Amino acid sequence: MDISFSAEHEAFRDEVKEFLSSALTDELKQAAAFCPGIFLDYEHNMAWHKILYQQGWVAPAWPEEYGGTGWDLMQQYIWTTETSLAGTPSTAPMGLGMCGPMLIGHGTAAQKDYYLPRILSGEDYWCQGYSEPASGSDLASLQLKATSDGDHLVLNGSKIWTTHAHYANRMFILVRTDDSGKPQQGITFLLLDMDLPGISVEPILFASDTHEVNQVFFDNVRVPKKNIVGEENQGWTVAKYLLEFERGGGGAARFGIGLQRLRRLAEQTNVGGQKLVDDEDFKNKLNETGVKIDALQFTEFRIMAQISKGGSPGPESSIMKTLSADMGQYLSELMVEALAFYASPHQPEAREVGQNTPAIGPAAGVAAFPRYFNYRASSIAGGSNEVQRNIVAKLVLGL
């Protein structure tokens, strides 16, 4: 595997840096730096999305024919690294990272023509209707019932943990159209509008004081059958394909930046007459984390090399999902440890963009504890770590 950068790639890096230095406003940087969770608030998320869309760079991983950048994997890697270094907000993954690639792989020509441009422009904001109150890890047991009525399906039941359903105008959803066979059979993949009569969205609040997820109820909701993706009763194949995109993704570059920030904070923090960065125990933790991030980086390169030979991310994406969840959580723990009592004050007003309320203690303390709580969810969301390890054991290691 050759991981050196060609002159063309270095020129591309310069182009990206130049764009970021002019396009990334202080407000967006602040929104990203003080974001208390994994998901940025809708307003700043969409503001950044639209800037990227205007530049033609909103979908770095999509093929050019569908409005993506057509960048090769090295260019995508450079993009991820430079945006991490610059401290940009992230974009919401449900449309660009999940629904779009899924439609490119399995949608009809009409579905692609209609939905893909709207995902790119930000006109449509998607949420994911997979989990149900009694179906999470065992997703194939889902029960939200869809009954056929002419050229419509009529939906009754509920979905839970639906991220940003309160902002979304569209949902991709798994419904039960037949329960006579194995659980995986009889599931249908549908696209629906969130303003259909009979849909209601109830908030679920987090310990981190954020509203990201919801429970969504369906009471006789009529969805046209033309919104089925793939074949009726064959939605499981489409659902699994989409999950490979949800679970993949890089992250080592962003973690590397997180570690740098942590190291800088430890250099500025005095504990018992010495700098925290010189404390043997904390120094070891920082160094071990650096080694783990390097290992994560090389795993990411290996998966990139595999994707470059063609195809989707494959079950290996479960490796990245688990390692990334663990690393995000660990960095948030180390941040709380480094800040000590300065992590404790509840200061949401100091996190507001454009505020002039000074932080109590180091600025990093403003988001540290909410982020620590919020990141607990990352080893559950998108499929729990235990379930990802089962997938790796079976489908990657063949155990």
Ligand X SMILES: Cc1cc2nc3c(=O)[nH]c(=O)nc-3n(C[C@H](O)[C@H](O)[C@H](O)COP(=O)(O)OP(=O)(O)OC[C@H]3O[C@@H](n4cnc5c(N)ncnc54)[C@H](O)[C@@H]3O)c2cc1C
- Positions touching ligand X (CB under 6 A) are 127-131, 136-137, 161-163, 213, 377, 380-384, 386-387, 390
- Give me the least distance between CB of 153 and ligand X, in Å please: 18
- Give me the least distance between CB of 133 and ligand X, in Å please: 8
Helix/strand/coil (H/E/C) assignment for every residue in the chain? CCCCCCHHHHHHHHHHHHHHHHHCCHHHHHHHHCCCCCCCCHHHHHHHHHHHHHHCCCCCCCCHHHCCCCCCHHHHHHHHHHHHHHCCCCCCHHHHHHHHHHHHHHCCHHHHHHHHHHHHHCCCCEEEECCECCECCCHHHCCCEEEEECCEEEEEEEEECCCCCCCCCEEEEEEECCCCCCCCCCEEEEEEECCCCCEEEEEEECCCCCEEEEEEEEEEEEEEHHHEECCCCEHHHHHHHHHHHHHCCCCHHHHHHHHHHHHHHHHHCEECCEEHHHCHHHHHHHHHHHHHHHHHHHHHHHHHHHHHCCCCCCCCHHHHHHHHHHHHHHHHHHHHHHHHHHHCCCCHHHHCCCCCCCCCCCCCHHHHHHHHHHHHHHHCCCCCHHHHHHHHHHHHCCC
118-145 as b/e: b if 16+ CB within 10 A: ebbebebbbbbbbbbeebbeebbebebe
| Residue with Cβ nearer ligand X (137 or 287) | 137
| Residue with Cβ nearer ligand X (49 or 263) | 49
- Give me the least distance between CB of 192 and ligand X, in Å please: 14
Closest CA to 141 of 179, 107, 169: 179
- Give me the least distance between CB of 213 and ligand X, in Å please: 5
| Residue with Cβ nearer ligand X (285 or 371) | 371
CB 276 within 8 A of CB 338: yes
Place of tokens 């409005």: 67
| Residue with Cβ nearer ligand X (66 or 130) | 130
- Give me the least distance between CB of 201 and ligand X, in Å please: 12
CB 87 within 8 A of CB 29: yes
- Give me the least distance between CB of 239 and ligand X, in Å please: 10
| Residue with Cβ nearer ligand X (173 or 277) | 173
Residue, CB closest to ligand X:
136
- Give me the least distance between CB of 164 and ligand X, in Å please: 7
Q: How many CB atoms lie within 10 A of CB 100?
A: 26
| Residue with Cβ nearer ligand X (142 or 293) | 142
- Give me the least distance between CB of 138 and ligand X, in Å please: 6
Strand partners, 187: 176, 234
| Residue with Cβ nearer ligand X (79 or 375) | 375
- Give me the least distance between CB of 94 and ligand X, in Å please: 7
| Residue with Cβ nearer ligand X (39 or 66) | 39
| Residue with Cβ nearer ligand X (28 or 40) | 40
- Give me the least distance between CB of 386 and ligand X, in Å please: 3
Chain CA centroid to CA 218, Å:
25
| Residue with Cβ nearer ligand X (137 or 148) | 137
